[in-house]
Every structure is written in structure tokens, then in C-alpha cells.
């Protein structure tokens, strides 16, 4: 039998519980609240009737601009042994309006050696976060000054903290294997500035409403390649074996977009309209670089053309780095990606990271060219970049593909909305990182799509062009976007923006279709909508709801729009019985059709599955039928229609539902070979054999395995030589169920993989073997440099293997888990080690339950208890139980 990858909860929950206990706070602590005096007689009482002074409302306004940054020149070197940045910054700036007698710069955790203003020594105060430089004379806005600071930045010595859900750390600049101590990891240096972390490695005014031009002179060992913003002007080899590269950015951009990346990269060169487009990857991925950063030149053309605004920067380079603290970052003309994007050509067959590539590129208009003036307005960056993914999908792969991308985005937002509903533009966040959530990304993208649907494509892109032209190389707030749409269309968009950008939650709309007769006996079909809101105290929404009417015997659909502004309203369909609501999923609405389902609805939804011109509408019909039909004939007809769907994601969805049905069959002791008709199985076989999509092929193999593994052995044997990892891995696991000895050589051939799908297959087969010789494999794999997710997979399957072995092997495995629990490998690895030990115990207990005699089981329990107690700091189990 195959082991399924699951997340084990018990030890993880305990760890989280104990970690939370370490703070020493009780649930009524107000330590995190800042109380301000207020001119009010109102009193605030908590649940215990304790008096609290009125609390001042948080309002995170845009940073006041005392100075205007004009230019930054950086001379940068590195002490690799100490992980220091040796820097000299020349900062040219002028008072924004009012005359100034001091300059305050952000400079986090630095040693400041010397500061000069206009070639004179300056007095300054430094608190470790900001430096205040005192000026000899007041400076007016007609004057510029140049501040020169010599400094040492020590980012690795700063306390690590989480910047946001999207950005794991805020130390600004990162040394990766700086001393070359890890033979499995390259030496690199890279930066991550957003939201306000670049001031860790150079002094600046680290706010999004500042911008300046820049020069960077960076000195590195001659074997390294460097990358920064702008153009590489020249390189100078030095007598000590180093090289100084000079990068110049002539167009102004925000300080958080400054970047450096240094490493032993292969550089693959491409061009677009006389602009250099280069891809920086680790040497082994050089031949795959164009596939890794797939379709970049074509994206540049598409976005330039659709926006009627050419790519506004002088180059476009992309680099993949190790241990990146975010997914990717849109640094101007020099984007950084995590190393997860580096794939072999074979891996790219099963999926790529094209969405991230398009996201970061679209930022170069929305975020880099036009930048949010405060973090409260970050949706002006992130919502657009997220919608850029949709736009690219629609252009390259068609409307069906982009509709499903938007479905994924809506579901992502709805998932977050279960626990968090806030305004899209919100000035009451505590920290900038709080703004980087599913609201600012996916919800905002969905709202932009509704805005496009509201005004039409021509007006939408004309308004975006006006917004870009009017605000190029400057900072903006949301109302500037609104005014661009008003200027183009002549309409007042305050109601739309108030409803979607300045309010929390989303509409919940129920609809029903009723059939009655008028006084003359003629049939009447009414479509009724009733709306409510997901957030408390929300006003009613004004909604333009698209719907289509059709007949069951025709593939002709007539589109209409219903305007819902009240709590309830209805429309007469004039005898049309069949209707599709929002057939492309264009609205950010939580839908609820509250009509019951009966056998009479089957023909309507089956017609929708067969004939609807939109893949999303066919998917919705599938969803309705799957959970409401139970007789075998209807189910097989339903499967047959779905397996022939023109869109691959619909075929995949049907196959997944078939595998789910097989699972239910096993649960209720039903022979799965009797679930599907011969016609349906023939269709599945065709998909397994030759579907154009490898994910569909792999899922079809799962169905064949579940229905009758031996009868489909030839399919699995052929699939073992598939170019697709997903298909090959599925065939390997299927073969292991039929003939483990035949599957093992394939696992041994692939065992050094870092691909999750293949590692899942190798781990499954080795764990299934029950052979202690594979202990070495799992331990060596975990000891290698393979990433934390690969570590989880390897430890998971190692624990599965151990559960079937003898005392000596189990004790060795527990020693291994103890080592990883206690050697500062991070909370993630500690959790994996804890859950691994629990999984070993659970597997051994299953053997006991089946009647096997394991005389050394008490020894295992005692060992696991001792390891756990030592980790949590408990002396005995009674103390542990008291803590629980």
C-alpha cells in the first residue's frame, strides 16, 4: 500500500502551545497597546470593567517629506569573514519645501565612522536606527547638500524578525555561505529592501514616497558576477584579485527598490527592442535559463503594447538566489527570485513559475514607475501585479485559463477572509508588513477585474495609460487611480472605490429560479437575487451581475446584465428556464444558490457541461452535478462528458473526483472496478496514454491503479519512460503496488532528486520496501543541502520506513531525530523531527494491534518520552501533562 504524505499535528500543536507560554503574558495583557491622551470624556471599559483611557486611532499617513532625495552614490565592499558591508554613501538632497537645519536618515545597526556635509565634518546623533545630522546653517529649497557617510553595516548581527507574511526577514542584505564552509551551497550576497530594510546596508530616507537616481560601485572577488539596478557602465580589475563594477541608474526610483546580487552565476543573454534582458542562474541551470524565466521578451511586448506605454527602464535582468526571504522582488530592472524557480527542462514540463515572472515584470509599471506613496496604498503595487498575471494568462493561453487563475485568486482571498476582513486601502495597520496579505494581492486583483468589466477594455486600458503618464516616476495614492478613470470615462467612481477599496468584506448573494404561471396559464420564470455582506455593518453593494440564458438543446447563449442595488430584486426571464449566473466568474461574490436540487435539474446542468462556451461555467455545472447525483447511469454519463472537456483543468477535475469516488468505495468496501462504465474507463485510458497535459495523464494513471492495477500494468510500464516527472513518479508508485522489485531500480535511479514529486515517489517506494539498507539514504539526504521542504519529505518517509524495522534500526533512527531536534536547525526542522518520532511510535503500535509481538516497544516509548521532555525542558511526564 502507498503511504500518503500528511501533516502530523500533535507535537506541532504542543510546540506552538509551549512557545506561546514562554512570553509570560496572560490573555488580558495590554502590553502591546499604546495609549494616548484624548480630548474626550468618553470612557472605555474592558470585559472586567477596568478603566482604560481612550485610545487614539492609528492612522498611518504618508511620511512627511522634509527632504527630497536626489541622488545616491554607494561605494561598497565586503568583509566576508565577518559578514560586514564596508560602505561609503554620498547622498545628494534638497529641502522639500521648508528650510531645514538637520537631516534625519534611516541607518539600521551600523557603525558610523565619519559624516561630512558639503566637505565639512558634521555633528550627528545616532540611536542605532536613525542618524540625525546637524547642519551648520539652515538650508533652503533652492540649495542642495551632499552628505557623505563612511560606515560599516552588520546585517548578520541584527536580530532576525519577520517583515510580513510575504517577506520572512528584514535584515536587508544577506550573506549566503560567506566563508565557503558548506560545500553544498554557493557563496552569494543579495538584498531585500521592501518594505523598509535597505537602510540596513546603506543610509537613506527609507520610505516609499522618496525616489532618487543612483550609482553603485561594488568591489568583489574577481570570480563573482554582480548585478544592480541600471546599466553596468564599466568594470575595473584591481591588483588584489578583486574587481569593481560600476552600475548606474539614471531614472529615479524608490529606495526600497535598490538591489545588489553577487555570486558565481551563469549569465544567459537575451534582448528585447534593443534592451538587454539577461538571466542569472546557478551554473548547472545555464541551459534551462530561458525556460526558467519563460516568455520574458514576449511579456515585455505584451505589457508595453496593452498599456500603450513602453517598458520604462534601460534593461531587464532576473536572478535566482539561494535562501531568499520572499518569493521574488521587483527591484527596478533587476528582479530577484528564490532558487525554487530553477528547474530542469524536464521539471518545466510539469509546471513552471510563469505567474511570478509576469507578476514581477508588471510591477515595473505598477510599483516601480508609479509607486505607492505609503504602505497603506500597497494595493496600487500588488493588486496590479497580481492582475498582471491574469492579463498575461489571458493573452498567452486564452480566456478560460485566465478565468481559472482568477478563480484561484478569489479562493485564496476567501480563505483569508474566514479569519480576516479589512479594508483594501487601510491606514490603521500596525506595521508595513501587515499590508502584504491576500487582500492587497488577490482581492485587489479581483477588484481590478471588476473595474475592467464595469468600464470595458478600451476605457480600462486608456485609464491605465493616463494613470501611468500622469504619475510616471512619482508616488501616488488610490485617488489618483480613481481620478484617471473619471477623467477618461466622465463617470463618478467614488461609489465604486468606496465600496471596494475603502470597505472590508465582500457581498454574499443568494439566487433562486422560480417557475409559476400567469393568469392566462403562461409559464413565468423569475430570477431572484438577495444580498448580504460578509463584514458587519457593511452597506448594501451596487452590483452589475452578468448572466446568460440558453436552451438545453442549443449551444447559443444570450448574455444579459442585472443591476442589484437593493437587499432583494428579481427579473422575469420571459419563459427561459435555463440560466447561468456570472458564467466567467467575474465578480468577487460569495454565491449561494438556495434552490433545491432534484432529478429535473440534471438535464439543465448536463447541457451546461456539454455546451457552455466558458470552461468556468462548465466547471460550475460539474461541481453542482457531482455532489447531487448518485445513480450509476447519471454518474457515468456525467464522467463521460467531463472527460471529453476541451479544457485540461476540467478534465483533471473530473479525474480527481473519480479518485475521490474510489476512496469512498474502499471506505464502504465496494469493489472499485464496478464504479465506472466501460466507456468511461476507455476515456480514462486514452487520457493516461496521450493527453496533451501531463497532470491529466498522471491523474488518469491514478484512476487506473485504483480501479484495477494488474489489468493496467502495461500503462504503468510505458509511463515509466515518460519525459514528465509527474507521470513517471505516478507510474513508479503504481508499479510498487504491483511489483515492488521492479519499482526499486527506478527509485534508486532517481533517489538524488530535489523534485518534490519524484522525492514523494522515491520515499514511498523505499518506505514500502521495509529494507533497513535505505536508512543510509534517508539520513544522507537530510544531511545534505536540499531545502527544508525536501527535509520534511525525507524525514516523513524515513519515519515510515523505521516503523517497519527492528529494534536496532528504530533506535538508530530515534538518535537521528534527536540530533536534528537539538542542533539549532530551526523550529520547522524541530517540528518535523518531533512528528517523525511520533509517527514511528504510531506505526509500531499498528503492528502491535495486528498481533505482532514487539517486546522492545516500552523501550521505544521511554526513549521518545525522554527526548521530548529534554527538548521541552521537562524533567518528567507529570510536569509535561501539567503544562498541557
The lowest-confidence range among 26-35, 74-83, 693-702 is 26-35
With a cut of 80, say whether residue 333 has pLDDT above it: yes
Q: How many other CB atoms sit within 10 Å of the CB of residue 128? A: 10
**pTM score, two decimals?**
0.90
CA distance 221 to 80: 10
Q: Cell numbers at residue 247, please?
A: 552600475
Q: How many other CB atoms sit within 10 Å of the CB of residue 97? A: 10
Mean pLDDT for the chain overall: 90
For strand 507-517 and strand 590-593, is the pairing parallel, antiparallel, or unpaired? parallel
Instruction: Please give the pLDDT value at position 161.
Output: 67
Cβ atoms 348, 725 nearer than 8 A:
no
Any alpha helices (H) in 72-218, and if so which ranges? Answer: none
With a cut of 90, say whether residue 630 has pLDDT above it: no
Mean pLDDT of the region 375-397: 99
CA distances, 714 to each of 170, 674, 688, 750 (Å): 53, 21, 11, 21
With a cut of 50, say whether residue 532 has pLDDT above it: yes
Q: Cell numbers at residue 776, please?
A: 543510509
For strand 100-106 and strand 231-237, is the pairing parallel, antiparallel, or unpaired? unpaired
Secondary structure of residue 332 in the 3-state scheme: coil
Q: Which residue has the cell 569573514?
A: 81
The model's confidence at residue 37, banded by pLDDT at 50, 70 and 90, is very low
Looking at residue 443, the DSSP 8-state letter turns out to be I
The lowest-confidence range among 106-120, 198-212, 509-523, 636-650 is 509-523
Cβ atoms 123, 136 nearer than 8 A:
no
The lowest-confidence range among 30-39, 74-83, 397-406, 446-455 is 30-39
Instruction: Please give the pLDDT value at position 666.
Output: 65
pLDDT in tens, 293-313: 999 999 999 999 999 999 999
SS3 content of the chain, % helix, strand, coil (to 5): 45, 25, 35
Secondary structure of residue 230 in the 3-state scheme: coil
Cβ atoms 783, 798 nearer than 8 A:
no
Any alpha helices (H) in 672-724, and if so which ranges? Answer: 678-690, 694-708, 713-719
CA distance 722 to 720: 6
CA distance 131 to 110: 10
Instruction: Please give the pLDDT value at position 517.
Output: 81
The H helix count followed by the E strand count for the chain is: 27, 31
CA distance 373 to 63: 8
Instruction: Please give the pLDDT value at position 49.
Output: 52
CA distance 663 to 672: 9
CA distance 85 to 63: 28
Q: Cell numbers at residue 769, please?
A: 520496501
CA distances, 448 to each of 343, 358, 388 (Å): 32, 17, 10
User: For residue 558, with 0-12 CB atoms within 10 Å meaning exposed, 13-18 middle and 19 or more buried, which class applies?
Assistant: exposed
All domains in the chain, ordered by first residue: 68-263 (2.60.40.1730), 374-500 (1.10.390.10), 507-595 (2.60.40.1840)
Instruction: Please give the pLDDT value at position 598.
Output: 65
Q: Cell numbers at residue 486, please?
A: 473619471
Mean pLDDT of the region 540-548: 95
Q: Which residue has the cell 531614472?
A: 251
Instruction: Please give the pLDDT value at position 789.
Output: 78
Any alpha helices (H) in 645-677, and if so which ranges? Answer: 648-667
The residue ranking higher by pLDDT, 172 or 14, is: 172
**Residues 6+ positions from 526 with CB-CB distance below 8 Å:** 513, 514, 516, 570, 571, 572, 573
Instruction: Return phi, psi of residue 281, to 5°.
Output: -140, 165
Q: Is the peptide bond before 195 cis (omega within 30 degrees of 0)?
A: yes
Mean pLDDT of the region 719-728: 98
Mean pLDDT of the region 858-876: 85
Mean pLDDT of the region 164-181: 88
Q: Sign of the CA dihedral 218, 221, 222, 224?
A: negative
Mean pLDDT of the region 858-883: 76
Instruction: Return phi, psi of residue 111, to 5°.
Output: -100, 120
Mean pLDDT of the region 98-114: 98
Residue-level length of the chain: 884
* Among 300, 305, 445, 444, CA closest to 362: 300
Q: Cell numbers at residue 611, please?
A: 455546451
CA distances, 259 to each of 156, 178, 226, 255, 335 (Å): 17, 18, 10, 9, 9
CA distance 473 to 368: 8
Greatest Cα-to-Cα distance within the chain, rounded to the nearest angstrom: 100
DSSP, residue by residue, 614-651: SHHHHHHHHHHHHTT--SHHHHHHHHHHHHT-SSHHHH
Instruction: Return phi, psi of residue 218, to 5°.
Output: -120, 125
Q: Cell numbers at residue 687, please?
A: 487520457
Instruction: Please give the pLDDT value at position 12.
Output: 38
Amino acid at each position: 500500500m502507498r503511504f500518503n504524505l500528511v501533516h502530523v499535528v500533535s507535537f506541532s500543536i504542543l510546540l506552538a502551545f509551549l512557545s506561546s507560554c514562554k512570553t509570560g503574558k496572560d490573555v488580558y495583557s495590554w502590553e502591546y497597546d499604546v495609549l494616548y491622551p484624548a480630548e474626550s470624556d468618553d470612557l472605555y471599559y474592558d470585559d472586567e470593567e477596568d478603566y482604560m483611557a481612550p485610545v487614539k486611532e492609528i492612522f498611518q499617513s504618508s511620511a512627511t517629506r522634509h527632504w527630497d532625495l536626489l541622488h545616491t552614490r554607494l561605494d561598497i565592499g565586503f568583509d566576508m569573514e565577518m559578514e560586514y558591508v564596508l560602505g561609503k554613501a554620498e547622498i545628494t538632497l534638497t529641502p522639500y519645501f521648508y528650510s531645514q537645519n538637520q537631516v534625519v536618515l534611516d541607518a539600521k545597526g551600523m557603525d558610523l565612522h565619519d559624516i561630512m556635509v558639503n566637505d565639512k565634518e558634521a555633528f550627528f546623533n545616532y540611536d542605532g536606527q536613525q542618524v540625525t545630522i546637524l547642519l551648520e546653517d539652515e538650508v533652503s529649497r533652492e540649495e542642495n547638500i551632499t552628505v557623505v557617510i563612511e560606515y560599516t553595516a552588520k546585517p548578520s548581527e541584527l536580530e532576525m524578525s519577520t517583515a510580513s507574511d510575504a517577506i520572512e526577514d528584514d535584515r536587508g542584505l544577506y550573506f549566503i555561505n560567506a566563508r565557503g564552509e558548506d560545500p553544498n551551497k554557493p557563496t552569494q550576497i543579495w538584498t531585500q529592501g521592501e518594505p523598509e530594510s535597505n537602510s540596513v546596508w546603506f543610509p537613506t530616507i527609507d520610505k516609499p514616497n522618496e525616489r532618487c537616481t543612483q550609482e553603485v560601485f561594488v568591489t568583489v572577488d574577481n570570480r563573482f558576477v554582480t548585478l544592480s539596478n541600471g546599466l553596468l557602465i564599466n568594470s575595473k580589475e584591481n591588483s588584489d584579485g578583486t574587481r569593481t563594477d560600476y552600475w548606474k541608474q539614471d531614472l529615479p526610483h524608490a529606495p526600497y527598490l535598490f538591489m545588489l546580487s553577487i555570486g558565481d552565476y551563469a549569465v544567459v543573454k537575451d534582448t528585447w527592442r534593443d534592451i538587454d534582458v539577461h538571466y542569472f542562474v546557478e551554473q548547472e541551470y545555464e541551459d534551462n535559463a530561458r525556460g526558467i524565466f519563460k516568455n520574458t521578451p514576449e511579456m515585455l511586448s505584451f505589457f508595453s503594447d496593452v498599456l500603450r506605454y513602453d517598458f520604462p527602464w534601460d534593461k531587464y535582468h532576473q536572478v535566482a538566489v539561494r535562501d531568499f526571504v520572499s518569493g521574488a522582488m521587483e527591484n527596478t530592472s533587476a528582479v530577484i527570485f528564490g532558487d525554487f524557480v530553477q528547474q530542469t527542462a524536464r521539471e518545466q514540463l510539469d509546471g513552471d513559475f510563469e505567474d511570478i515572472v509576469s507578476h514581477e515584470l508588471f510591477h515595473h509599471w505598477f510599483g516601480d514607475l508609479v509607486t505607492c506613496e505609503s504602505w497603506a496604498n500597497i494595493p496600487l503595487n500588488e493588486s496590479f501585479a497580481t492582475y498582471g498575471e491574469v492579463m498575461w494568462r489571458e493573452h498567452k493561453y486564452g480566456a478560460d485559463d485566465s478565468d481559472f487563475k482568477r478563480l484561484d485568486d478569489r479562493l485564496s482571498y476567501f480563505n483569508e477572509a474566514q479569519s480576516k476582513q479589512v479594508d483594501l486601502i487601510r491606514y490603521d495597520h500596525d506595521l508595513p508588513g501587515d499590508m502584504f496579505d491576500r487582500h492587497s494581492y488577490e482581492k485587489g486583483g479581483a477588484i481590478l477585474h471588476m473595474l475592467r468589466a464595469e468600464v470595458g477594455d478600451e476605457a480600462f486600458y486608456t485609464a491605465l495609460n493616463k494613470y501611468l503618464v500622469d504619475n510616471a516616476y512619482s508616488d501616488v495614492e488610490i485617488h489618483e487611480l480613481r481620478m484617471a478613470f473619471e477623467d477618461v470615462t466622465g463617470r463618478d467612481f467614488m461609489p465604486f472605490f468606496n465600496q471596494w477599496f475603502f470597505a472590508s468584506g465582500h457581498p454574499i448573494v443568494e439566487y433562486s429560479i422560480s417557475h409559476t404561471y400567469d393568469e392566462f396559464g403562461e409559464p413565468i420564470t423569475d430570477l431572484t437575487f438577495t444580498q448580504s455582506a460578509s463584514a458587519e455593518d457593511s452597506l448594501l453593494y451596487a452590483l452589475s451581475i452578468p448572466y446568460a440564458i440558453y436552451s438545453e438543446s442549443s449551444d447559443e447563449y444570450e448574455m444579459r446584465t442585472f443591476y442589484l442595488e437593493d437587499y432583494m430584486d428579481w427579473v422575469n426571464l420571459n419563459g427561459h428556464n435555463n440560466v447561468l449566473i456570472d458564467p466567467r466568474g467575474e465578480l468577487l461574490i460569495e454565491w449561494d444558490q438556495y434552490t433545491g436540487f432534484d432529478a429535473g435539474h440534471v438535464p439543465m446542468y448536463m447541457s451546461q457541461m456539454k455546451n457552455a462556451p466558458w470552461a468556468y461555467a462548465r466547471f460550475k455545472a460539474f461541481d453542482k452535478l457531482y455532489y447531487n447525483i448518485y445513480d450509476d447511469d447519471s454518474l457515468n454519463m456525467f464522467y463521460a462528458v467531463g472527460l471529453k472537456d476541451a479544457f485540461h483543468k476540467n478534465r483533471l477535475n473530473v479525474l480527481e473526483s473519480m479518485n475521490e469516488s474510489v476512496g469512498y468505495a474502499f471506505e464502504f468496501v465496494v469493489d472499485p472496478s464496478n464504479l465506472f462504465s466501460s466507456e468511461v474507463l476507455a476515456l480514462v485510458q486514452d487520457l493516461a496514454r496521450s493527453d496533451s497535459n501531463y497532470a491529466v495523464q498522471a491523474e488518469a494513471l491514478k484512476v487506473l491503479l485504483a480501479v484495477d492495477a494488474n489489468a493496467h500494468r502495461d500503462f504503468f510500464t510505458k509511463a515509466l519512460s515518460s519525459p514528465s516527472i509527474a507521470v513517471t513518479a505516478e507510474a513508479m508508485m503504481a508499479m510498487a503496488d504491483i511489483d515492488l522489485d521492479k519499482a526499486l531500480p527506478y527509485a534508486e535511479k532517481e533517489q538524488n532528486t530535489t523534485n518534490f514529486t519524484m522525492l514523494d515517489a522515491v520515499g514511498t517506494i523505499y518506505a514500502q520496501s521495509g529494507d533497513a539498507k535505505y536508512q543510509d539514504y534517508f539520513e544522507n539526504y537530510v544531511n545534505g543541502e536540499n531545502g527544508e521542504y525536501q527535509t520534511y519529505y525525507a524525514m516523513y518517509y524515513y519515519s515510515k520506513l523505521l516503523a517497519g524495522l527492528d529494534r536496532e534500526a528504530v533506535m538508530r533512527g530515534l538518535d537521528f531525530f534527536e540530533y536534528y531536534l537539538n542542533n539549532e536547525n530551526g523550529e520547522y526542522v524541530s517540528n518535523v523531527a518531533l512528528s517523525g518520532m511520533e509517527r514511528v511510535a504510531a506505526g509500531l503500535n499498528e503492528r502491535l494491534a495486528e498481533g505482532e509481538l514487539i517486546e522492545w516497544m516500552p523501550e521505544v516509548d521511554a526513549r521518545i518520552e525522554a527526548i521530548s521532555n529534554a527538548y521541552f525542558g521537562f524533567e518528567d511526564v507529570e510536569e509535561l501533562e501539567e503544562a498541557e
